[in-house]
Amino acid sequence: MTRRLRAFALLLACSLPPATSALARALAPEIEQALAREGVPIDAVSIVVQEAGSGQTQVSLNPGKSMNPASLAKLLTTYAALDELGPAFTWKTPVWFAGPVKDGVLDGSLHLQGRGDPKLSLERLWLALQRVRQMGVSEIRGDIVLDQGAFAVPPGSTADFDNEPLRPYNARAQALLLNLSSVIYTFTPDAARGVATVSAEPALDGLVVDATVPLSAGPCNDWRAALKASLGDPVRLQFAGSFPAACGERIWPLAHADARQYAQRLVATLWREAGGKLTGSAREGAAPQGVAPTFELTSPPLADVVRDINKFSNNVMAQQLFLTLALQRSGAARVGVDDAREALRRWLADRLGEPLDGVVIDNGSGLSRETRMSARLLAHLLQRAWSSPVMPELMASLPVTGLDGTLKRSRAMAGRAHLKTGSLRDVAGVAGYVLGAGGRRYVLVALINHPNANAARPALDALVQWTMNDLNPRFGTPRP
């Protein structure tokens, strides 16, 4: 394996243009060995390392191969959004009082219209309803109406991708996405009573959750499985098992079994917790047309949202941003996934000025088996971003080796690289910027598409560390 890899690298260097061949290097032995240990062949790996700004290529291995990038696709979505909309862009969520207010009573319905805000958190929604109360409304003699019409999301199930419908990463985009459609369940052991108490944040109107689960002895292994939770019922969460006392307090974030009901239940709950009365119900429906809203909720700036998306690889927020690009670019009242694909593809063609052969854009997040792009294209994109006005915002949004986000456990030297990570079954990758020991900054893209891809992550750490060492033959060992 090692001999073949070295022979391929030599052939590759000989085939590069004269300006590049002098700089292209064979991979360090530690990287070769890490790949060989996991049985990952050379044709399953694609690597580009270039000096940032100059574009001089240091390493080029299968650069044009069309591969699944997993969450590296978020680099395309977030850079396009920063470039098109600007770092200070905010989402507006209009709110209407559809009727007069007298003596604390809104004689009509309260309407909220979703426009794609990815960060309509529990806290922000609570503040919005508090504002309604401060504007003199204590009772709504009508409904709370949620307008989801801006996004035409194709029918499907959250189980479609990997048959894990309640994993928060599988939550689907919605025009009015509230609190990422998720609930955090906390299990707190009470040894005196022999139970773990169960709390839900947020509590949802009409959702009944078992208040306790019996404690059990033994080690804290797969405690989620030990609970034997019944998760498919959107109105009842039960536990037929037990919780290991040795685990201490644990949290379990779950997407709600019915995302559309989630939004309705959450709004109804928060309105009542704010001291408000509701004669009708929370339901979906159309917002008033041709009437100025009573007020608008304003999101945090795009730069903050992009940071959340890239640091923690948030799929549903990326999909919200993906659809927002089409909504803002078209000015239409309603857009779908095909509109977003076309908008992002046009932006990419405009910025790169080259054919997009082999590029497949699916949903903007990389949570897809269909997305395809090459390491060369991603490197080109990162080089363009490096010289763009939004480079500081994009770079600051990327996880930092050994310090935060999805790179907190990286074994490469802490603080010296800003890299987006990508991980799916059979896919592993990193892409971003690496600071070398000599002060040079490098663009690095590496992709592995192979059944053993995630087992070969030490090879990616080794590649990052090698780049930090300015690709010095005396390869530095990643930290323990």
Amino acid at 244: P
Q: Indicate whether 426 pLDDT > 60.
A: yes
More confident residue, 193 or 257: 193
Distance, in Å, from the CA atom of 239 to the CA atom of 228, rounded to the nearest integer, reads 6
Distance, in Å, from the CA atom of 251 to the CA atom of 276, rounded to the nearest integer, reads 30
Structural tokens at position 226: 């030990």
CB-neighbour burial class of residue 77 (10 A; exposed 0-12, middle 13-18, buried 19+) = buried
> What are the CA-CA distances from residue 373 to residues 125, 178, 417 (Å)?
38, 32, 22
Q: Indicate whether 457 pLDDT > 50.
A: yes
Q: Indicate whether 88 pLDDT > 60.
A: yes
Strand arrangement, sheet containing 441-449: 57-61, 45-51, 441-449, 427-435, 417-424
> What are the CA-CA distances from residue 195 to residues 45, 210, 222, 367 (Å)?
50, 12, 18, 38
Contacts of 22 (CB under 8 A, 6+ apart): none
Q: Indicate whether 385 pLDDT > 90.
A: yes
> Would you state the torsion angle of the CA atoms of residues 315, 316, 317, 319, taken in this order, to the nearest 10 degrees?
90
Q: Which of 255, 147, 242 shows the shortest CA–CA distance to 198? A: 242
Contact between 426 and 459 under an 8 Å Cβ cutoff? The reply is no
Instruction: Tabulate helix, strand, coil % of the chain (nearest 5).
Output: 35, 25, 40
* pLDDT-based confidence at residue 60 (cuts at 50, 70, 90): very high
**Which domains does the chain possess?**
2-87+303-468 (3.40.710.10), 90-299 (3.50.80.20)
Q: Which of 44, 66, 146 shows the shortest CA–CA distance to 355? A: 66
Beta strands in 247-336 (DSSP E): 250-255, 277-278, 282-284, 295-298, 335-336
Cα within 13 Å of Cα(105), Cβ side: 6
Position 59 scores a pLDDT of 95
In the predicted model, what is the mean pLDDT of residues 55-81? 97
| This prediction's pTM | 0.91
Position 165 scores a pLDDT of 66
Position 5 scores a pLDDT of 39
